[in-house]
Amino acid sequence: MNFREKTAWLNVVAMLAAYSLYFGLLLAGHAAGREVFPMLWLFGSIAVAHAVIVIAGTVILSAQAPKSERARADERDRAIRRRGATTAYYVLLVGMMVVGVYMPFVESGAPLANAGLFAIVAAELVNSAVVLMSYRRGWHG
C-alpha cells in the first residue's frame, strides 16, 4: 500500500470516528441537535480533534514512507483524485438539495446546519471510498 493510499485510509478512519461520534451524540439527544451554541461547541471540538488526528497521522505516515512515494502526485494519482471528486460532487449536490427541501420545516438553524454537515461528510466519505477503490481495482483515467 503506497503513501497516498495510506493517507486516504487515514482520512476515512478519522472522519468515520469523528463524525460517528458527532452524529451519534445528536441521535442520543445532545442539545447540539437543536440549539446553535451547543452545536458550535460540539462541532468545533470534534472538527479540531479530527484535524489534529489527520495532521499527526499524515506526519507519521510521511516520516515512514520512502522519499520516492512522497513525491508529487503523478497523472494516475490526479486521475484517481478527479474521479473521487467528481463522484463526491454529485453526492454533495443531492445532499444540498435535500437540505433545501428540509429548510422550510425547521425553526432553528442547528438542524439545518447539521443536515448540511451530514451531506458534506457523506460526500467526503464517498470521495475517499472512490479513491481507495480506484487504487485497489485500477482506474483508466
**Interaction site with other proteins (CB under 8 A):** 2, 68-69, 71, 74-77, 79, 137-141
* Nearest distance from C-beta of residue 65 to other proteins, angstroms: 11
Positive or negative: CA dihedral 49, 111, 124, 15: positive
- 85 contacts 53 by C-beta, under 8 angstroms: no
Q: How far is the CB of 8 from other proteins (least distance, A)?
A: 13
Q: How far is the CB of 36 from other proteins (least distance, A)?
A: 46
Nearer residue to other proteins within complex by CB, 29 or 138:
138
Alpha-carbon distance of 104 to 43, in angstroms, equals 23
Check: CB of residue 41 under 8 Å from CB of residue 50: no
Nearer to other proteins, 50 or 83 (CB): 83
